[in-house]
Amino acid sequence: MKLTVCGFGGVGCRIADRLVAADGDRSRSFVVDSVALDTDQRDLSSLESIPDDRRHLYGVIEAEGAGVEGDRSVGAAAADSEATELANAVDDAVSSQTDAILCCVGLAGGSGATALPRIADELRRVYDVPVYGLGILPAGSPTADDGSTSTAARNTGRALADIGAATDALLLFDNELWLGSGDSDTDPDTRDDLNETLTTRVAALFAAGEGDHDRQIAERVVDASEVQNTFAAGGIATIGYASQTIERPTESRFGLGILEQEGEIDDTTAIKAIETTSRRAVRGKLTVEIDRESVQRGLLIVGGPPDWLNRRAVSDARSWLAQETGSVEIRGGDMPDPDGDTITMIALLTGVGSCPRVNAFRAAADRG
Do residues 132 and 198 lie in contact, with contact meaning Cβ atoms separated by under 8 Å?
no
Do residues 143 and 364 lie in contact, with contact meaning Cβ atoms separated by under 8 Å?
yes
| Angle between helices 151-166 and 356-367 in degrees, nearest 10 | 110
Cα separation, 82 vs 80, whole angstroms: 5
Dihedral angle sign, alpha carbons of residues 33, 39, 44, 46: negative
CB atoms within 10 A of CB 228: 17
Residue from 199, 114, 188, 125 nearest 158 by CA: 114
H or E element in which residue 229 lies? helix 224-231
Cα separation, 145 vs 160, whole angstroms: 23
Annotated binding residue at 111?
A: yes
Do residues 57 and 132 lie in contact, with contact meaning Cβ atoms separated by under 8 Å?
no
Cross-strand pairs, 105 = 8, 135
The identity of residue 351, as a single letter, is G
Cβ-count burial of 85 within 10 angstroms (0-12 exposed, 13-18 middle, 19+ buried)? Answer: exposed
Do residues 324 and 260 lie in contact, with contact meaning Cβ atoms separated by under 8 Å?
no
Residue from 160, 108, 162 nearest 139 by CA: 108
Annotated binding residue at 140?
A: no
Cα separation, 114 vs 161, whole angstroms: 11
**Exposure letters 106-145 (e unless 16+ CB within 10 A, then b):** bbbbbbbbbbbbbbbbbbbeebebbbbbbbbbbbbebbee
Annotated binding residue at 195?
A: yes
**β-pairing verdict for 342-352 and 297-304:** antiparallel
- Report the binding-site residues for GTP: 110-112, 146, 175, 195
- Report the binding-site residues: 110-112, 146, 175, 195
